[in-house]
Chains A and B, each alone.
Chain A
Amino acid sequence: MQWWEYLLKYGKVFLMGGAVCFIGQLLINRTKMTSARILVTFLLLGVVLEAVGVFSHIKEWGGAGITVPITGFGSSLAKGAIDGSKISLFHAVTFGLASVSAGLTAAIVCGFLVALIFKSKPKKL
């Protein structure tokens, strides 16, 4: 790949990721949503986009701009469930969580270790 191709690719990622967060901020400013609600909303958005088959098209253009936000987590869940549904009902029900096991494991283990090592502090005014 040429240098300008990289520039274009990363530019698209920046725009895509920025746009997703922009919408999130708009929701925070207008509706006073808390961070848990924002995360839930965007996760559901990812699930829905994947379920209706749009997510892969967005990902083709925006790359990590749509997979790094929590929408990517939702998409993985839905994608796992869809893949599992081709095998059996059992797989349809369990493959969703299995497909995000890496991220979830990392989050739990990192959270656990960080909490053992560090202490929370009020910030300086």
Chain B
Amino acid sequence: MDGKAYCEYVSKTAPRTAELKTLLAAFCVGGVICMLGQGFTDLYAYLLPQAEESLVGSLTSMTMIFLGALFTGLGIYDKIGSVAGAGSIVPITGFANSIASPAMEFRKEGIVFGLMAKMFVIAGPVIVTGVVSSVIVGVIYRVIAVA
């Protein structure tokens, strides 16, 4: 048996993710996290009636990020993630988890070379993509505006 035939055999027989179960879990957990976010948005809008929409949005993000990091520290977020998958990765709390978890993990190698240096091993690409793409969008819009 050669490698190619074997790879075909493996891709046919390897245990698969339970599609329906994982999709349902992602849908429900993702939906609930977003509802929680909406709750904070409404709360901040009620508490700060004069505030601009962007301030309320920022406060909501900060709250969700705080909760994501806190639940990561308490060792709960990875348990949610093992069930919910994308349901807890895609929300902003998942972004917080991807920053807090390597920071915790590499704390053992010291604060500078461990915690601080390794904090962005997973979230780094996200920030780089975000900044680069926003610059591209800004330049294109500026060119259109000038033209």
The smallest beta-carbon distance between A118 and chain B, in angstroms, is: 4
Asked whether any CB of chain A lies closer than 8 Å to the CB of B48, the reply is: no
Decide if B96 touches A92 in the complex (CB within 8 Å). Answer: no
Q: Which of B60, B89, B133 has a CB less than 8 Å from the CB of A38?
A: B89
A21-67 CB contacts (< 8 Å) to partner B = 21-29, 35-36, 38-40, 42-44, 47, 50-51, 63-65, 67
Chain B 80-110 interface mask (CB, 8 Å, partner A; 1/0): 0010111101111011101111011101000
CB-CB nearest in chain A for B118: A115
In addition to A69-B91, A112-B119, A114-B72, 6 A-B residue pairs with Cβ atoms within 8 Å of each other are A21-B26, A21-B90, A40-B129, A47-B130, A78-B137, A93-B139
Decide if B125 touches A36 in the complex (CB within 8 Å). Answer: yes
Asked whether any CB of chain A lies closer than 8 Å to the CB of B51, the reply is: no
Decide if B130 touches A73 in the complex (CB within 8 Å). Answer: yes
Decide if A73 touches B145 in the complex (CB within 8 Å). Answer: no
Q: Quick one: given A25-B23, A35-B122, A121-B75, are A96 and B137 in contact (CB under 8 Å)?
A: yes
Q: Quick one: given A64-B34, A121-B75, are A97 and B134 in contact (CB under 8 Å)?
A: yes
Chain A residues positioned under 8 Å from B84 (CB to CB): 21
Chain B residues positioned under 8 Å from A50 (CB to CB): 137
CB-CB nearest in chain A for B62: A106
CB-CB nearest in chain B for A82: B141
- Count of A residues near B, CB < 8 Å? 80
Q: Quick one: given A15-B31, A22-B26, A103-B92, are A44 and B133 in contact (CB under 8 Å)?
A: yes
Residues of B within 8 A of A (CB): 17, 19, 22-23, 25-38, 41, 54, 57-62, 64-66, 68-70, 72-75, 78-79, 82, 84-87, 89-92, 94-96, 98-101, 103-105, 107, 115-116, 119, 122-123, 125-127, 129-131, 133-135, 137-142, 144-145
Majority-rule SS of B interface residues? helix
Chain A 76-88 interface mask (CB, 8 Å, partner B; 1/0): 1110111011101
Decide if A35 touches B119 in the complex (CB within 8 Å). Answer: no
Decide if A110 touches B126 in the complex (CB within 8 Å). Answer: no
Q: Which of A10, A69, A78, A88 has a CB less than 8 Å from the CB of B92?
A: A69
Chain A residues positioned under 8 Å from B29 (CB to CB): 21
Q: Which of B35, B85, B138 has a CB less than 8 Å from the CB of A85?
A: B138
Asked whether any CB of chain B lies closer than 8 Å to the CB of A107, the reply is: yes
Decide if B70 touches A93 in the complex (CB within 8 Å). Answer: no
